[in-house]
């Protein structure tokens, strides 16, 4: 092919390289110039045009694209009509798009003029979605290159759409006293919605105590009526012999793999019972956000059975979201903003239950140190990212005893309106570069930095997608960690309302972490201060 400018009167039979105005008419790129179009250009006083002239054996862009598309043998994919050297390929059904990178790379090495671009391998597509495109770059291409491309694209399956298989899904959820029924209901509803996208549904559902024998019994009961099984555990899997994998084996099945290199989604279990796939869902699958569970579910629905090696190969591209609160943070540029869990130390209240003349409970001394300073020091000794102390009543005195500590003071002039205003002031002062907010009451003298770290660890293990609450056995307590996604709800609170209202209304899982009596010992009265080993201010 020869390309370049030529006088208009010598351009008949050539292909116009750029759209050109000819009087009121616009001659489009790719037009084969004939006598009429030449006359239009001459009459419009166009002297020269840029054209392509085909050599013997050359094929124009649309013919080349059409021939290659006609040779394409992808299952579940159809080619549209060629235009401007391009043929788009579309899915004929909903399914899992598969692409062979080595074959596509070889195809794209034939001639730079011939290209094949497609979606990532194992992308979920709907009927009619464009999955690939064949594009001829110049206006014409050598016939020999087209022939080689036709041969390669016809010989092997470059790409295909594997349709989803409709399945009857058995659903088993384990229970613990700390897992709220509302969370379990929301999880089942979300799972049903996920399955509906593949044309499948939950046809059998059971609940079981979070114990190996009980779960194994439930699995054996539900397996005969199911074509696959999904298990949601009330507690995360921590070992290959933990409840979910052990129950699969005890029910007569086999475990292919525990854990996957996709984040979020690490704590996933894959196995089978009677040849039917079984997925032990990670905690993050309680959220609608994409996670490793979605990757494995899509493969199974498309008729694939992910093996140990298949899952091991998911690491590249498996970082689906940044979890900044990991114990070993990922490499960050020094200038990048800090992220993590911030603590709001609630120190604005009026201490009204102390009575007249008894002093401020947060200024009571424990081991010779004001309680509010003791709380701030323990917060700072933890792995939390930052600390904000909200002041109000006797704010100057509180600020004075916190002097010298790495704590941000945030004054709440409206502290008398109740806890909600102080909470909103604290959250605002922390900023928006956090994955979670810990609400720390200022009057819990037995709380240690180790307790705070235990709660932070649970928040990290649940990928920042669960509410973490301290507990003393079966009794709920404080502190509480709220995922950052709840900040908009925090900012709507009014009056003397705190985290409890959010916890009760949220659909997020609530995980209670037993830290012992420290979760419930607060000092609202003079008697409580003395019982906890403190000395009342001024006494």
Q: How confident is the model at residue 236, as a pLDDT? A: 85
Query: Is residue 336 scored above 70 in pLDDT?
Result: no
pLDDT score recorded for residue 335: 35
Question: What confidence tier does 355 reach under pLDDT thresholds 50, 70, 90?
Answer: low
pLDDT at 83 over 70: yes
Which two three-digit tokens encode residue 456? 């932070």
pTM reported for the whole predicted model: 0.56
Per-residue model confidence as pLDDT tens digits over 284-310: 898 888 899 999 999 999 999 899 999
d(CA 468, CA 57): 71
CA separation for the pair 35, 26 (Å, rounded): 16
- Mean pLDDT for 376-390 is 92
DSSP conformation class of 518: G
d(CA 12, CA 39): 10
pLDDT surpasses 80 at 54: no
| SS3 (DSSP) at 200 | coil
* Percentage of the chain lying above the pLDDT 70 cut: 95
Within 83-139, strands assigned E span: 86-91, 95-99, 114-118, 123-125, 130-136
Buried residues in 392-424 as b, exposed as e (16+ CB within 10 A): bbbbebbbebbeeeebebbbbeebeebbbbbbb
Q: Tens of pLDDT along 192-251?
A: 999 998 999 999 999 999 999 999 999 999 999 999 999 999 988 989 999 999 999 999
Element (H, E) at 387: strand 386-391
Higher pLDDT, 183 or 273: 273
- Specify the range with the lowest mean pLDDT, choosing from 143-152, 429-438, 495-504: 495-504
Describe the strand order of the beta sheet including 201-209 as a list of residue ranges.
201-209, 168-175, 228-232, 276-281, 269-273, 254-258
Q: At what angle do helices 371-380 and 449-461 cross, to 10 degrees?
A: 40
What's the pLDDT at 308? 96
Among 336-340, 352-356, 466-470, 501-505, the minimum mean pLDDT is found in: 336-340
Q: Which domains does the chain have, with CATH numbers?
A: 2-53 (3.90.105.10), 58-163 (3.90.1170.30), 168-312 (3.40.980.10), 341-531 (3.90.550.10)
* pLDDT at residue 481, as a whole number: 95
Rg over CA atoms, the chain: 33
Strands 25-27 and 86-91 turn out to be unpaired
pLDDT at res. 356: 62
323 band by pLDDT with thresholds 50, 70 and 90: very low
Distance between CA atoms of 49 and 16, rounded to whole angstroms?
A: 7
Average pLDDT of the chain to the nearest whole number: 88
Q: Residue 372's closest CA among 341, 339, 394?
A: 394
């Amino acid at each position: 092919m020869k390309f370049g400018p030529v006088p208009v009167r010598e351009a008949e039979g050539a292909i116009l390289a750029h759209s050109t105005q000819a009087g009121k008419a616009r001659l489009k790129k790719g037009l084969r110039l004939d006598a009429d179009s030449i006359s239009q250009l001459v009459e419009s006083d166009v002297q020269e045009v840029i054209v392509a002239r085909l050599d013997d054996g050359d094929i124009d862009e649309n013919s080349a694209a059409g021939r290659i598309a006609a040779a394409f043998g992808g299952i579940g994919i159809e080619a549209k009509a060629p235009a401007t050297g391009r043929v788009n390929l579309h899915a004929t059904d909903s399914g899992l798009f598969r692409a062979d990178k080595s074959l596509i790379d070889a195809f794209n090495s034939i001639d730079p003029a011939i290209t094949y671009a497609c979606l990532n391998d194992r992308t979920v597509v709907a009927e009619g979605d464009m999955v690939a495109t064949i594009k001829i770059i110049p206006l014409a291409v050598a016939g020999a290159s087209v022939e080689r491309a036709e041969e390669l694209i016809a010989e092997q399956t470059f790409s295909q759409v594997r349709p989803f298989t409709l399945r009857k899904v058995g659903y088993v959820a384990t229970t613990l006293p700390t897992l709220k029924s509302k969370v379990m209901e929301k999880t089942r509803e979300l799972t049903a919605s996920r399955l509906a996208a593949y044309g499948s549904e939950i046809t059998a559902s059971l609940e079981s105590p979070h114990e190996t024998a009980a779960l194994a019994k439930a699995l054996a009961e539900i397996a005969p009526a199911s074509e696959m099984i999904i298990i949601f555990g009330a507690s995360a899997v921590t070992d290959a012999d933990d409840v979910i994998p052990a129950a699969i084996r005890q029910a007569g099945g086999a475990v292919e793999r525990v854990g996957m290199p996709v984040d979020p989604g690490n704590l996933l279990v894959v196995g089978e019972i009677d040849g039917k796939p079984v997925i032990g869902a990670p905690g993050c699958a309680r959220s609608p956000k994409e996670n490793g569970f979605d990757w494995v579910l899509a493969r199974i629905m498309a008729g694939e059975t992910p093996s140990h090696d298949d899952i091991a190969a998911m690491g590249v591209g498996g970082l689906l979201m940044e979890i900044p609160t990991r114990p070993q943070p990922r490499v960050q540029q020094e200038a990048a903003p800090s992220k993590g869990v911030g603590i709001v130390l609630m120190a604005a209240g009026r201490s009204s239950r102390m009575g007249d003349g008894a002093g401020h409970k947060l200024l009571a001394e424990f081991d010779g140190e004001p309680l509010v300073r003791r709380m701030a020091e323990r917060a700072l000794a933890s792995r939390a990212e930052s600390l904000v102390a909200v002041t109000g009543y006797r704010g100057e005195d509180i600020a004075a005893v916190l002097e010298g500590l790495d704590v941000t003071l945030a004054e709440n002039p409206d502290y008398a309106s109740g806890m909600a205003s102080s909470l909103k002031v604290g959250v605002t002062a922390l900023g928006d570069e956090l994955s979670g907010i810990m609400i720390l009451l200022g009057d819990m003298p037995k709380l240690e930095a180790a307790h705070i770290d235990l709660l932070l660890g649970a928040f990290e293990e649940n990928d920042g997608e669960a509410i973490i609450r301290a507990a003393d056995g079966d009794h709920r307590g404080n502190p509480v960690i709220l995922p950052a996604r709840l900040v908009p709800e925090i900012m709507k609170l009014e009056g003397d309302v705190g985290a409890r209202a959010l916890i009760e209304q949220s659909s997020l899982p609530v995980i209670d972490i037993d830290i012992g009596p420290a979760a419930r010992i607060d000092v609202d009265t003079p008697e409580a201060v003395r019982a906890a080993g403190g000395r009342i201010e001024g006494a």
